[in-house]
Amino acid sequence: MNNKFLSLDWFKQTAENAIAKVVANKLESLMEQEESPREEYVKPYMNLKLVNDTLTVVLNDGSVMSKPGATEEDFHAVVSARSVHEIHAIIASREVAADVEALRVETARIKALQQGIQILNVLPDFKVEGTTVYLNGTSRSLPQLLVEKFIEVVDRVSHEPSQEVFSDQLNQDDEYVALKNFFMWCCLNPRAEVAHELYRFLNENSFRITKQGFVVALRNVVTLHGSPELVHFISNAYNKVKAVWKKNPSEYTVFLENGEYKLVHDEKLFKEETHTSTTCPDCLGDGGWYDEPWEDDNNWIDCETCDGSGEVEEYTYTETWPVDHGKKIGGLVELYLDLPNREENRFTDDWTKTFDIRIGQVTSMPQEECNWSTQDCAAAGLHFTADQIHYVGCGDQSVIVLINPMKVVGIGQHKGRCYEYLPIMTVARDEATRILHDGEFDTIQLDEEYAIRELEFLAEKAKDGFATESRKYEFNMPGISAVEISNIVNSLSEMKTKISKRVSTIK
C-alpha cells in the first residue's frame, strides 16, 4: 500500500488551494496596517519628579504614585512609558504589577462579556436573564466559556444594519451553526455535568466540533486481520477528500494498479481526442444506404446531408476513450458505505477484546454499564481523546471517531468516555494527533451520514436516556420537559434539509 498517498501532507500538497495566495494576502494585510494612521500619543501622566531616591508620579486622573528607592533608570522608564499600565509596572513590585495586570485583563474581559451578552440578547437564537444566557427553547444555561465563544463568533461575522439579515448571516456561518447544534445535543444528555463541563474539556484538549455538533476524537484499536489496506485507503481517501480538498467523494473512483490503490477523479476516467474530417457523419462516407430488401439497387436512398457524395464541409468532432487505470474497485462513496460489510474491516479493543469495531459502523455499550467519573483511566465506558492518543487503548491502529455529546458519560483531564461512537477512518499513528490540529484538515463536514442516523427517533432516544439515568442514580435528575425535548429535536431536525444532496441516506 502506498502510505505516502494516504498521508495528510500528500492531500495538502495536492489540494487546489494556493499557499502563496494566502501568504500574499497576509502580507497585504500587514502593509495596510503599516499604512493606517497611528493614534495620537497622549502622555499618561501630568507630573513626574525624582527627589533623592523617591520617584513621584501624578497620573492624568489626579492619582499619585510613589516609589522609594527609585533610580534614574526608573525615572527615564516612566518618561518613556506609553500607558498607565506600564507606569504601574515600573512603580510597583513585580508581584503588585502582576496583580494589577491580571485585574486589568479580567476587568476588560468582564466588560467585553457584558457587552457581548447584550448583543446575544437581541438575537432570536438566545434568551438572556441577567448574566445567564440560554439557547431559545432550552432550560440549561450556556456555560460561560461557550457564551464567550458565541460572542467571539458573532463579533467575527460582519454586522448588518438589519437584525434579520444579520441573524440569517450568522446561521450561514459553519462555526456558529456547529456551536448551536453542539449545545442542543448537550441539553439532551441526561447528565447535567456533561452539558456544563464538556465544552471546557474539549477546548482545553484541542478537540474539534463538526457542523452538526458532534465531537471529533481519537482512540486506538486492535487489528483483527493482518491486511486491511483497502479499509485504510478507502476511509482515508473518503474523509480527506472531504476534509482537505473540500470535494465531493462521489466524483472519485478507486482502482488497483500495479499492486497499489489509486484515486481517480471523474474528469480523468476518459480521454478526449479532437479530430477534423470531411466524411459525412450520417452515412459515414457511403453516400446513402439501402432500405429493405437489402442489396436491391432500387431501394438505395441517397443521404440528404451530403446529397449522396459521402463528403461534407470540414468539421470538428471529439472522440472519448476510457483511460486504463488498472482494475476498477468501485466508486469511493459506495466503497465507503460498504466498509462495514468487508471482512478485512474488523478491529476490537485491547482491554476486553470483545467489541466489534468497524469503520463506518457504530460501536456501543449499554448506557447503564457506563460510569460517570473524572478519572482518565479505569472507569467504565468507551474512552476517547484528542491529544493523548498514545494511552487511549493500547492498540496497534489509531482511528478517528465521531461522538454525539448526548452520549458522553464521563470527562477526565485528558480523556472522555461515551457509550457510543462512530469510527469514520483509520489514521497513521504518527499523524493521529497532528491531524486534529491541522487547520487544513477541516472536520466541519465529516458527519452528514451520522447526523441522519442520529436524528431518527431522536425524541424517543432522548427520553430513554433520561429514564435510564434516573434509574441508575439515587438523586433527582435536573428536569427536562417533553416540550423542551420536542423543541430541541425540532431545531436539530432542521439540519436534515441543510445537509448536501450528495449524501446518501444510510438505511
Residue 314 belongs to some domain of the structure = yes
Residue 157 belongs to some domain of the structure = no
For residue 265, what pLDDT band results from cuts at 50, 70 and 90? very high
Residue 110 belongs to some domain of the structure = no
Residue bearing the bigger pLDDT, 492 or 472:
492
Q: What value does the mean pLDDT take over residues 125-148?
A: 89
State the Cα–Cα distance between residues 339 and 397, nearest whole angstrom: 17
For residue 11, what pLDDT band results from cuts at 50, 70 and 90? confident
For residue 18, what pLDDT band results from cuts at 50, 70 and 90? very low
Residue 301 belongs to some domain of the structure = yes
Q: What value does the mean pLDDT take over residues 247-254?
A: 95
pLDDT score of 253:
97
- pLDDT of residue 376 exceeding 90: no
Residue-averaged pLDDT of the chain: 82
- pLDDT of residue 83 exceeding 80: yes
Percent of the chain at pLDDT > 70 equals 79
Q: What value does the mean pLDDT take over residues 298-321?
A: 91
- pLDDT of residue 105 exceeding 60: yes
Overall number of domains in the chain: 2
Contact (CB, 8 A) for 122 and 163: yes
Angle between helix 144-156 and 174-187 (nearest 10):
160
The region of weakest confidence among 51-60, 246-255, 324-333, 476-485 is 476-485
Contact (CB, 8 A) for 230 and 285: no
Residue 44: is the preceding peptide bond cis (ω within 30°)? no
Alpha helices by DSSP H, listed for 189-228, are 192-204
Residue 59 belongs to some domain of the structure = yes
Q: What value does the mean pLDDT take over residues 76-88?
A: 86
For residue 497, what pLDDT band results from cuts at 50, 70 and 90? low
Residue bearing the bigger pLDDT, 209 or 379:
209
pLDDT score of 306:
94
**Which cell goes with 240?**
480527506
Residue 308 belongs to some domain of the structure = yes
Q: Which domain holds residue 66?
A: 45-100
pLDDT score of 437:
82
pLDDT score of 347:
94
pLDDT digits (tens, 9 = 90+) for 166-222: 888 888 899 999 999 999 999 888 888 877 889 999 998 888 999 899 999 999 999
Residues with Cβ within 8 Å of residue 366, at least 6 apart in sequence: 419
State the Cα–Cα distance between residues 443 and 433, nearest whole angstrom: 14
Residue bearing the bigger pLDDT, 192 or 40:
192
- pLDDT of residue 32 exceeding 80: no
pLDDT score of 298:
75
State the Cα–Cα distance between residues 148 and 169, nearest whole angstrom: 19
Residues with Cβ within 8 Å of residue 80, at least 6 apart in sequence: none
State the Cα–Cα distance between residues 414 and 387, nearest whole angstrom: 7
- Compute CA distances 80 → 45, 163, 268, whole Å: 11, 46, 65
pLDDT score of 161:
65
Residue 64 belongs to some domain of the structure = yes
Q: Is 342 exposed, middle or buried (0-12, 13-18, 19+ CB in 10 A)?
A: middle
pLDDT score of 254:
97
pLDDT score of 466:
59
State the Cα–Cα distance between residues 448 and 213, nearest whole angstrom: 11
Residue 93 belongs to some domain of the structure = yes
Sheet containing strand 327-331, edge to edge, reads 260-265, 252-257, 327-331
- pLDDT of residue 17 exceeding 60: no
Most confidently modeled range among 151-160, 168-177, 292-301: 168-177
- Compute CA distances 374 → 106, 378, 403, 416, whole Å: 28, 11, 18, 9
Phi/psi at 146 (nearest 5 deg)?
A: -75, -35
pLDDT score of 248:
92
